[in-house]
A and B are shown apart, each in its own frame.
Chain A
């Protein structure tokens, strides 16, 4: 029970902080910064209690720290929250990144600090809430709740073209989400008038064609958020125009809401439709990997480059999920965390350079490693993580995904795996080119001769992320363990569906789970 209350505290503490901030005077920006930092750190501290209290053994209940109280009983809507291992990891990612984001905005945000901090805090509640929700309507409320503060973050504190970017971001995600709302209402009606996730998952009985439509409605909403090719076009604009803090949260957490949505909702609720559409989704994921990487090669703007690299990396996550093997799913989950850490760190450092030079154009830099050796060092480490060098977290994730895909019982899975692997190579190319063009070579631009290296505050911002990269690279097990029961349950669910499909259609070859790894068996 204490655990349960703790989860509600973690969800709503930032919101309470935001409400409190409303009563502080706007003319005192320092108070708002301090308040936001204290609240987000306290939230992180509280979430550590969830982390240590989580039981990852196979016999443990699926959802832990559960609170289940009626909210609108007449409509079958309840306040039902709880965490499985995957949600736990993403909640931890959120609570860990947010104080870093607050700290990173310390000097970058000069105007309307009060509103900025309130937006960040409201955003944190909405993000944690959407990972913790176990009721479809509650989930939808948090899911939409993310949009407004993010919309304000880009629209008020963004750069020149912010209005276009923020409206595009909002309309894209909103249109896709409202279709999901229709699907949610339909699901609730078919599951006997309840929107409770656990009950719906058990009770939902719909025809095969209805299931396909429902899967599509959910999948499109999530695919926009991921973003998957070809629904990604809002992302480069949003990232480029967003303030650093917005980019970090967007890349670090918001994109995971899409992949988490696949893992939690689209796959387990509509398994047969998921099997039906799996090759298409996997193909789009691979296209996204390669396309994102190719787009990176031609970018002139650092932020845009990192944004397109997100398209590529999130493609890996989707590929891992679609493999429906233990390795693929685990790798997908792990890569969600990695991407949050390493892309978040990349955006932070691009933001640091931007604060110093007020430009994000790669051509404006060159050879700055001489001036700012520590920034360069941190950037190189993060780059190595981003391209998946062994010893960094990125390697663990990408290796699991690619091997999991190779072994998947999915038509032409080795091709997916092989083409996806070219994304790793291209990733090394564009990231190392970026490092080379920004940090190494001759210090040609005079304006770069006066750059200052990391300040104490920036050390505090970047060190935890760099440390996390190393820890997650060398000791992945503590981060893989919590995800395991959730991954096994999902696979078990699909195995049951396979069984049912085979009864209906004898002789149907299984399509989930792992192939025997021997190549000889493949012929």
Chain B
């Protein structure tokens, strides 16, 4: 591992583009004299698009940085998904921040840094690389969560996210140390070198750290408060990006564990299956009583982590590996488009003056009668809700179909049945949003029209189109996901 070869640098091009975009935005804030910042979202979108293109067009380099990172179809898929999520979130953020007079270059720069960390996580093949990438991602998202820290809830959210995030990083680092102590290496591919209880404990700690990031029950406790308290565009970005990145690295770690026949690897599968069941069950059950749409979506994101875990667990069966991994990738792409769209609508209807009534800024009643006030907005929200509920013909249905198909291929019939039953439970609270939008009259004083700026309209249209196209013609993306499911260890 002496020096960096040109291949290594070329492989990191997407990440370099993201970081360069962030630096440009930071510098622009230094030299900017006027208050006009409309271009910043544009730069962010451009950087995201360029990074995504660079990832797509670059030839897969395989192992780089002495094996600490891998650039393969899987990492490219993750990078493109993250970049898509970044671009959509930036567009959502532009209007949201503008309406609150808080549009600054730092916001977009932090988002770009976070996306760089997420992309890196998709490539990580080494525990230290994982740790560095997670920290790059997390430090940026902690700051983003605290971006609008005035008010009790935002401050609590930011602080909670930071403390629990640091705790999970510590678990990860401690686990890494134990693994290194046993195997003498931090590469995923060297897990098989070691054996014994210490390795199992180390890997368990690594897994717990990652479970925090993907918000699996019982490591989910931070999620509702943080998702609710963080600025809505940030929540959208966290729900999509952090989840995608977290699952990417979880998949690589678990594949290494299963592929390398680590002692007790079967038990890791059983534990992951138990986590999947708990996550699906509690995520959905706890979402049912929520009145705040934002909080409901937070619990729903936990539930979706459960479905994704079903896919990951199914990858444990050798015969179902390809279908399981491609289903996870497809689900992540579908979820990214859907959840950012849903949070965008939440951000559009939320009260601008949060301090006045913090409790019900996102109450369901904000959506009452939306179908009359803004038929288009209500329609796309209905599409997102149907997709989250997994009802055809939306991306969410195809995602669930692929996940459960993988589970059945892996003969995990119980997981599939619990999955569909809990998703029927999910339909109840997603449809409640539709009930409020279409079947209730607007609250007094809420009849006024909502202003939708061009950036937000573009973001909403793009995610709605993506959700429907992925639902009706999932073929191309499903093929890409299938091609990307061959991991280079």
**In the complex, which residues of chain B have a beta carbon less than 8 angstroms from the beta carbon of A155?**
435, 438-439
User: Do B439 and A163 have beta carbons less than 8 Å apart?
Assistant: yes
Within 8 A of B (CB), among A132-151: 137, 140-141, 144-145, 147-148, 151
Q: How far is the CA of A181 from the CA of B402 in the complex (A)?
A: 11
Q: How far is the CA of A115 from the CA of B424 in the complex (A)?
A: 26
B288 to chain A, nearest CB (A): 12
Q: Which of the candidate stretches B151-159, B195-203, B475-483 sits at the interface with the other chain?
A: B475-483
**In the complex, which residues of chain A have a beta carbon less than 8 angstroms from the beta carbon of B482?**
74
Q: How far is the CA of A162 from the CA of B439 in the complex (A)?
A: 9
A347 to chain B, nearest CB (A): 22
Interface residues of B, CB < 8 Å — how many? 33
B139 to chain A, nearest CB (A): 39
**In the complex, which residues of chain B have a beta carbon less than 8 angstroms from the beta carbon of A144?**
391-392, 397
User: Do A171 and B427 have beta carbons less than 8 Å apart?
Assistant: yes
Within 8 A of B (CB), among A156-202: 156, 162-163, 166-167, 170-171, 174-175, 178-179, 181-182, 185-186, 188-189
A34 near B: Cβ within 8 Å?
Answer: no
**In the complex, which residues of chain A have a beta carbon less than 8 angstroms from the beta carbon of B474?**
72
A211 to chain B, nearest CB (A): 15
User: Do A171 and B424 have beta carbons less than 8 Å apart?
Assistant: yes
A460 near B: Cβ within 8 Å?
Answer: no
User: Do B408 and A189 have beta carbons less than 8 Å apart?
Assistant: yes
A521 near B: Cβ within 8 Å?
Answer: no
Q: Quick one: closest A residue to B427, CB to CB?
A: A174
B405 to chain A, nearest CB (A): 5
Q: Quick one: closest A residue to B320, CB to CB?
A: A189
Interface residue from B404, B423, B478 paired with A74 (Cβ < 8 Å): B478
User: Do B435 and A185 have beta carbons less than 8 Å apart?
Assistant: no
Q: How far is the CA of A147 from the CA of B397 in the complex (A)?
A: 14
23 A/B residue pairs, CB under 8 Å, sorted by A = A26-B375, A73-B475, A137-B401, A141-B392, A144-B391, A145-B393, A148-B391, A152-B438, A155-B438, A156-B438, A162-B439, A163-B435, A163-B439, A166-B439, A167-B428, A167-B435, A171-B428, A174-B424, A181-B404, A182-B417, A185-B404, A186-B408, A189-B408
B462 near A: Cβ within 8 Å?
Answer: no
User: Do B417 and A179 have beta carbons less than 8 Å apart?
Assistant: yes
Interface residue from B416, B434, B475 paired with A185 (Cβ < 8 Å): B416
User: Do A72 and B404 have beta carbons less than 8 Å apart?
Assistant: no
A interface, over-half SS: helix
Q: How far is the CA of A182 from the CA of B405 in the complex (A)?
A: 8
A159 to chain B, nearest CB (A): 13
B interface, over-half SS: helix
Residues of A that sit less than 8 Å from B by CB? 26, 71-75, 115, 137, 140-141, 144-145, 147-148, 151-152, 155-156, 162-163, 166-167, 170-171, 174-175, 178-179, 181-182, 185-186, 188-189
User: Do B405 and A75 have beta carbons less than 8 Å apart?
Assistant: yes
User: Do A182 and B438 have beta carbons less than 8 Å apart?
Assistant: no
Q: What does the 1/0 interface line of B249-261 toward A look like (CB < 8 Å)?
A: 0000000000000
User: Do B420 and A182 have beta carbons less than 8 Å apart?
Assistant: yes
B489 to chain A, nearest CB (A): 24
B421 near A: Cβ within 8 Å?
Answer: yes
Residues of B that sit less than 8 Å from A by CB? 371, 375, 386, 391-393, 397, 401-402, 404-405, 408-409, 413, 416-417, 420-421, 423-424, 427-428, 431, 434-435, 438-439, 473-475, 478-479, 482
Q: How far is the CA of A377 from the CA of B239 in the complex (A)?
A: 63
**In the complex, which residues of chain B have a beta carbon less than 8 angstroms from the beta carbon of A179?**
417, 420-421
User: Do A145 and B424 have beta carbons less than 8 Å apart?
Assistant: no
Query: Given A74-B482, A155-B435, A145–B375 Cβ distance below 8 Å?
Result: no
**In the complex, which residues of chain B have a beta carbon less than 8 angstroms from the beta carbon of A163?**
435, 439
**In the complex, which residues of chain A have a beta carbon less than 8 angstroms from the beta carbon of B417?**
179, 182
Q: How far is the CA of A174 from the CA of B420 in the complex (A)?
A: 10
Q: How far is the CA of A147 from the CA of B392 in the complex (A)?
A: 10
User: Do B405 and A185 have beta carbons less than 8 Å apart?
Assistant: yes
Q: How far is the CA of A174 from the CA of B426 in the complex (A)?
A: 11
**In the complex, which residues of chain B have a beta carbon less than 8 angstroms from the beta carbon of A74?**
475, 478-479, 482
Query: Given A72-B475, A75-B405, A178–B421 Cβ distance below 8 Å?
Result: yes
Q: Quick one: closest B residue to A142, CB to CB?
A: B392
Q: Quick one: closest A residue to B417, CB to CB?
A: A182
Q: How far is the CA of A162 from the CA of B428 in the complex (A)?
A: 15
**In the complex, which residues of chain A have a beta carbon less than 8 angstroms from the beta carbon of B397?**
141, 144
**In the complex, which residues of chain A have a beta carbon less than 8 angstroms from the beta carbon of B393?**
141, 145
Interface residue from B392, B402, B438 paired with A145 (Cβ < 8 Å): B392
Q: How far is the CA of A434 from the CA of B230 in the complex (A)?
A: 61
Q: Quick one: closest A residue to B474, CB to CB?
A: A72
**In the complex, which residues of chain B have a beta carbon less than 8 angstroms from the beta carbon of A175?**
421, 424
Q: How far is the CA of A115 from the CA of B382 in the complex (A)?
A: 14
Q: How far is the CA of A170 from the CA of B397 in the complex (A)?
A: 16
Interface residue from B404, B428, B475, B479 paired with A182 (Cβ < 8 Å): B404
B424 to chain A, nearest CB (A): 4
Q: Quick one: closest A residue to B400, CB to CB?
A: A181
Q: How far is the CA of A42 from the CA of B279 in the complex (A)?
A: 50
**In the complex, which residues of chain A have a beta carbon less than 8 angstroms from the beta carbon of B402?**
75
